[in-house]
Amino acid sequence: MNDTKTTHQDRRAPLEISAEEIRRLGYRVVDIIADELADPARRGVYPPPQSPERMAQQFGGPPPEDGMDGDAILDLIRDELLPASPNYCHPRLMSYVSSSALALPGLIEGLVASLRLYPYTWTLTPGSTEIETTVARWLGQMLGFGDNAAGYMATGGTGANLMALVAARVAKAGWYVREDGIAHHEPLVAYGSTQTHACLDQAFRLMGLGSRGLRRLEVDEDFRVRVDVMDNAIAEDKAAGRRPFCIIANAGTTNTGAVDDLSALADLAARHDLWFHVDGAYGAVAALSPAARPLFKGLERADSMAVDPHKWLNVPYEAGCVLVRSWDVLSRAFTLVPEYLRMADGHDAHDHWHHGWELTRGDRALKVWVAIKQIGFAGLTAMVDEHLAMTKRLAHMVEDSDDLELMVKPSLSVCCFRFVPPDLRSDTPDNGYLDRLNEETERVIQQAGDGLITGTDLNGRRCFRPCFVNHRLTQDGIDHMIALLRRTAREADARLRSR
């Protein structure tokens, strides 16, 4: 049989395709994107339920022996992958801290990947290096951290917070942590609140400090950390021979958008000689708004902060950023130069690979730079102002209604409330009925896919927590979701009571 004589060489698909073919396939990719964005509500947020067998049939199996035609691959992506993916372009997406991706920064990602743009050394990649440097400086200026911030683009808030904590430990441990590690030294501890994002626990685990090394302290009725409690905790740890090294403040908690008292925490950090880190992954972008800016007083005194352009700035994933006061902070924590990377022409302070723990990474800053260039400071501020106004309107509407209950006055763009049937609006114990009712409502709404609102637990009570950061969100969309929520809750109430 002829086949037996066919070698791998004969059967290989070409590694290179012609410029014409690149154009044709590229336009097809753009068409898929444009078709989705032309009518972003055409698919629900949640994909229809899929069986593991079907997913395995479409995307699994052994590695293919022969290459597949580019058009067939694009068909598979359009016809099978997209319907099995959430629609995060949806105009009624108001879940978690979920935004849509701006179109041009999204398209730029294809260019970054195809042409391998990346920040490395100044000599080799001066453009990408300057862009990352500029994005850090712009974010620092725009959010009131400072005019000359240094920074590094991480994958997201988890990475940015981890990097800040690693830098804080190097700066404040009091011994050579990078070389000597942490064994045989006093336990290092840091301070946040019960509302601090779980990624900080992750950071403590990864740093070998254990999640107990992060002291999660009590909050007040507005979910802001109690500074007096933190002061006492620091004193107790010192007295017990532990080594406090960092205070972690929230500039917009995930649960409620609470902003800690940054000035008071900056004072506390200064008094105890601790690093002062601010997690603004979600909320710091609110500082663009003149109305919200006073909440962030004290941010200008932070040693480091995390901010996520892939959240409220609507930049495509992955884009988190850690900001610090000088490049030295990062290079002292991360630089590592093996002989095979030593450059003949020496090193420049702006060689970006000194400033993080990764060596090769794509240009994550370009999409942020494009978003800020294209929309501008004024356009981004207007978007944030609009989201803050929408949140206030929703909170007022909830307060005025007889079947919704506000859990806490919103600080930023999260509004926590729950459905309470009018006959249950009293302080009498409900044996968890309202939790069950709100959770059931949430489940049904999510499955309906007609937009997305998610929930949380506040003081042990289940509630909804719409979060407005999506640039496609409209007031009509919010009204639609609240009407849907009420309708669904009333039906769930009738169902649960009839059991």
Ligand X SMILES: Cc1ncc(COP(=O)(O)O)c(C=O)c1O
Residues forming contacts to ligand X in the complex (CB under 6 A) are 97, 156-158, 161, 197, 199, 254, 279, 281-282, 308, 320
- Please give the structure tokens belonging to residue 70: 């580019």
169 vs 197 by CB, closer to ligand X: 197
With both helix axes pointing from N to C terminus, report the angle between 19-38 and 103-114 in degrees, rounded to the nearest 10. Answer: 160
* Residue number with CB closer to ligand X (224 or 243): 224
CB nearer ligand X, residue 261 or residue 308: 308
Q: How far is the CB of 256 from ligand X (least distance, A)?
A: 11
Q: Please tell me the distance from the alpha carbon of residue 253 to that of residue 390, in angstroms, as a whole number.
A: 18
Is the preceding omega at residue 399 within 30 degrees of 0, hence cis? no
Nearer to ligand X, 44 or 156 (CB): 156
Decide whether 319 or 492 has the Cβ nearer to ligand X. 319
What would the DSSP string read from start to end of 213-262? GEEEE-B-TTS-B-HHHHHHHHHHHHHTT-EEEEEEEEBS-TTT--B--H
Distance CA 488, CA 442 (A): 9
**Residue 67 Cβ, how far from ligand X at the closest point, in Å?**
35
As to burial, measured by CB atoms within 10 angstroms (0-12 exposed, 13-18 middle, 19+ buried), residue 117 is middle
The alpha carbon of residue 309 and the mean position of all alpha carbons in its chain are separated, in whole angstroms, by 8
Tokens of 353: 């690979």
Helix (H) or strand (E) holding 65: none
Q: How many CB atoms lie within 10 A of CB 239?
A: 8
Q: In whole angstroms, how close is the CB of 309 to ligand X at the nearest point?
A: 10
Q: Which is nearer to ligand X, 97 or 288 (CB)?
A: 97
- Helix axis angle for 475-497 and 365-400, nearest 10°, is 60
Q: How far is the CB of 62 from ligand X (least distance, A)?
A: 33
**Residue 280 Cβ, how far from ligand X at the closest point, in Å?**
7
Report the C-alpha gap between 185 and 209 in whole angstroms: 12
Q: Residue 334 contacts by C-beta under 8 Å, 6 or more apart in sequence?
A: 163, 166, 167, 354, 355, 356, 357
Residue whose structure tokens are 């991480």: 154
Looking at the Cβ atoms of 199 and 366, the one nearer to ligand X is 199
SS3 content of the chain, % helix, strand, coil (to 5): 50, 10, 40
Would you give the end-to-end CA distance of the chain in angstroms? Answer: 70
Both structure tokens of 249: 């403040």
Shorter beta-carbon distance to ligand X: residue 328 or 358: 358
CB of 330 to ligand X, least distance (A): 19
Measured from the CB of residue 12, what is the shortest distance to ligand X in angstroms?
A: 39
CB proximity list for 465: less than 8 A, separation 6 or greater: 255, 256, 414, 415, 416, 453, 454, 455, 456
Output the smallest distance, CB 308 to ligand X, in A: 5
The residue among 132 and 308 lying less far from ligand X, judged by its C-beta, is: 308
Q: Which is nearer to ligand X, 156 or 451 (CB)?
A: 156
CA–CA separation, 470 vs 90, rounded Å? 9
Question: In the complex with ligand X, which residue's Cβ is closer, 261 or 279?
Answer: 279
If you ran DSSP here, which 8-state letter would residue 151 be given?
A: E
**CB atoms closer than 10 angstroms to residue 107:** 17
Shortest Å distance, C-beta 474 to ligand X: 23
Distance of closest approach, residue 386 Cβ to ligand X, in angstroms:
20
